[in-house]
Chains A and B, each alone.
Chain A
Amino acid sequence: MSGPLWVAWRGQRAQAAAIAALLLLYGAAAATERLEPDLSGLTFQLAGFLAGAICLIWGAPLIAREFEAGTHKLAWTQSLSRGRWLAAVLAVAAAGALTATAALAAVLTWALPGTEGNPMAWPYYESHGLVPYARALWALILGVALGAVTRHTRIAMPLSVLLVGAGQLAGRALRGRFDLSFWAMQWTETAVYLALTLALTGITYLAIRRRA
């Protein structure tokens, strides 16, 4: 792994392990549902937990923890610009969030094959297609941006989870107002999440650019 990416990975592997452990628990729950169809639907409804977990465990502490420990003074006084440092840190975190989302999708496909029903009903819609990936990126960067702006994990963690939850509910409410097909809706929602992700990336960069 190239230099800055290794540094980012070394700093984030504990978060990666925590998310992996949560996915294992979720896989166990999904396996139970496959064996006990009476529990049907529960696993779908829980699939949205991943965005909240990503922003809480991975996003919010990512930069806030550096400020709290003072290690940003170490990281930002090497021969690397803050922009490149941030790019490496976000690349590793984004790769982790996307991998976790793909793992979750794989678990759903394996545990609940051929589930019938309305594809626009939220438990199915929100756990299939592109939206889970875009939502995971948005939840991640929302936590990162809040951590970079507030500089405190104890503020950024609860606040980002609240906002991710509120964002998911708002998405659900807005979706009902439009009469779009599954994929038209998925593309639209993905575009909105990605635009928000880009804006929050810019805010994060501005928050760390001039501060010490």
Chain B
Amino acid sequence: MNALRTSGLGKRYRQRWALREATIAVPAGARAALVGPNGAGKSTLLNLAAGLLTPTTGRAEIFGWPLETAAVAFVAQDKPLYRRWSVADLLRFGSATNPRWDRAAAQSLLSGHDISLRERVDRLSGGQRTLLALALAVGKRADLVVLDEPLAELDPLARLQVMSVVRELEATVLLSSHILADLAEVCDHLILLGTGRVRLCGSFADLLSSHSATDLEDLVLHYLRNPEAVR
């Protein structure tokens, strides 16, 4: 069973195609890493998977059902949160807008990282804000969790904390990042995008053996240096 399946998914902004004919499958329970140079269409694909953008062509399915926002938890780039609200307010926001809300799970993530419910969001550090955004995703109890650059601009300790939370998520995860070493630790699937198209999609093990690469970094760098060689 695929948690996420897209077929012929494309998004055009005026004259420019940000993503073309993207056909990918992320199996249930997978941790899929979305990798590619800047402008390759990563954010567009994630925004489509989150139901925030409407595709120009093709479609996306979550566990065989047409995509709807209730089934996906999305942490957008820069982790947008209501900055003047308290942490407790944001938890109440999660419970008010999600019928399957799991307050205990969201709260235990926060208390596990010493984030006080009384704190105002704009007084949290970048790492704490990321953890709060993840707590909202956990509380939603979504089948698929989509994270756009969750590790960007985090200090090393915060990055470790966020990675361990991602590793323990019960849902299927699709996340984008530039930090290949981190992805190799957390993820087991790779989707490689280049200039708006899907270049590689599959499990690490399959991709490494079929391209006779030694590790993820090797495979991705090989593609980035010579895009035409990887098909």
Contacts and interface: CB of A to CB of B under 8 A. Distances in A.
A80 B51 CA distance: 12
A14 B82 CA distance: 13
A7 B97 contact: yes
B98 A212 contact: no
B229 interface: no
B185 to A, nearest CB: 27
Interface stretch (A39-47, A67-75, A103-111, A149-157): A67-75
Interface stretch (B87-95, B102-110, B205-213): B87-95
A11 B84 CA distance: 9
A76 B69 contact: yes
Nearest to A10: B89
B80 A73 contact: yes
B142 to A, nearest CB: 9
Nearest to A69: B80
B78 interface: yes
A80 B98 CA distance: 7
Contacts of A14: 84
A74 B73 CA distance: 10
Interface of B: 47, 50-54, 69-70, 72-74, 76, 78, 80-85, 89, 92-100, 136, 140
Interface of A: 2-4, 6-7, 10-11, 14, 69-81, 210, 212
Given A10-B92, A69-B82, A77-B76, 17 more contacts: A3-B95, A7-B96, A10-B89, A11-B82, A14-B84, A69-B83, A70-B76, A70-B80, A73-B52, A77-B52, A77-B69, A77-B73, A77-B74, A78-B98, A79-B97, A79-B100, A212-B52
